[in-house]
Amino acid sequence: MRLFQRLSATAAIAVAVSGAVAVSAAAPAMAAPGDASARGVVVDLAATVAGIPVITADAVIGSATAPAGGGTDTDTALAITVPGALGVTASGTVVQVSATRGDTASSANAEIADLALAVLGTPVIDADVITAAVTCPQVGAQTADTTFTGLELFGEPIDLVPNTPGVTASAAVTVAGLTGAALNATVTSVETVTADGAVAIAVQATLRLTGTIVGGPLLDIPVGTVILAEARCERPLAASPTPTPTQPTPSPTQPTAPPTTDPTQPPTAPPTTTPALPVTGTDMSAAWWLFGTGAAMIAIGAIGRLTARRSRLFLNQ
């Protein structure tokens, strides 16, 4: 039971890791303020007929991502090739891809020269020069620009207008197992600006393969996409202002009432009530009264003692 649980957990982790790899291989999603990136040539093509691969190509030639801490990432003079491809060939040069992150702006650009892309032996896209550039200032409007010189689709010059349905064309191709096979391409260009960022994709080609299997139905097989010169950026965040310390608001001073008396005169002490104090002086009338009372009591006492003595003498006789 424990072994089964461990195998199940391992399988779950493997699925999660493979999913993360698949997501990371997708086009970069610009989401954070100040981000910038550029790519030169991105080829993502695959097609199978009756279980047999006839087209396989997966490559990114030239990629730059602005450093997270600020600065510029640049790649230059890269030969356009698609190693290990099946049914796809490419040549030319990625002249430059560059992406910059700054305090007040981010930007990116990509430039391709002398491009020639062929699928199933048929020239699909050719161009002398293809460029894409974006700028995202902290203050002001974002910009997105694309340029083309000598742009051709299936050997025919085309006028590609950004942010329109683009140009669609097709060419006959030879594919084993198919009759009436044709390679169809829709080419568009993107110049998009928002409140926070900008995207410029000079050329984006979406390819499809059609044809009929002998004795079978008409097939319409999605082949994939090719991106030529892509640039993206996001507006940097504005610096937070330094708060100014707030000074306390002084309380209004109350006016002092003017004195009600002449300041040159000494202040008059308020009347006070004298508390009743015990008499400590000598009252002569009271003293004479006490003296008389005492003398009378002494005389009475003497008389009483004399009388008592006489009474005892009389009884003893």
* pLDDT per position as a tens digit, 54-70: 999 999 999 999 999 99
275, part of any domain: no
Confidence at residue 200, expressed as pLDDT on a 0 to 100 scale: 98
pLDDT at 181 over 90: yes
What does the DSSP 8-state code read for residue 278? -
State both tokens at 44.
């993502």
Domain interval for residue 119: 31-234
State both tokens at 38.
């550029």
Q: Which residues contact 28 (CB under 8 A, 6 or more apart)?
A: 37, 65, 232
5, part of any domain: no
pLDDT band for 119, please (50, 70, 90 cuts). Answer: very high
pLDDT at 183 over 80: yes
Better-scored residue on pLDDT, 128 or 294 = 128
110, part of any domain: yes
156, part of any domain: yes
pLDDT at 10 over 90: no
* pLDDT per position as a tens digit, 225-246: 999 999 999 999 876 555 555 5
The 3-state DSSP class for residue 309 equals helix
The 3-state DSSP class for residue 11 equals helix
Compute the mean pLDDT over every residue in the chain, rounded to the nearest whole number.
79
Confidence at residue 27, expressed as pLDDT on a 0 to 100 scale: 43
Least confident segment among 33-47, 127-141, 280-294: 280-294
Average of pLDDT values for 302-312? 56
Confidence at residue 245, expressed as pLDDT on a 0 to 100 scale: 54
* pLDDT per position as a tens digit, 12-36: 333 333 333 333 333 445 459 999 9
243, part of any domain: no
Q: State the number of CA atoms in the 13 A half-sphere of 128 facing the CB.
A: 6
Confidence at residue 13, expressed as pLDDT on a 0 to 100 scale: 35
In contact, 153 and 125? CB cutoff 8 Å:
yes
292, part of any domain: no
In contact, 233 and 197? CB cutoff 8 Å:
yes
* pLDDT per position as a tens digit, 78-87: 999 999 999 9
Better-scored residue on pLDDT, 106 or 258 = 106
119, part of any domain: yes
Residue 230: beta bridge partners? 39, 201
Q: Which residues contact 188 (CB under 8 A, 6 or more apart)?
A: 160, 164, 165, 166, 203, 204, 206
240, part of any domain: no
- Domain tally, the chain: 1
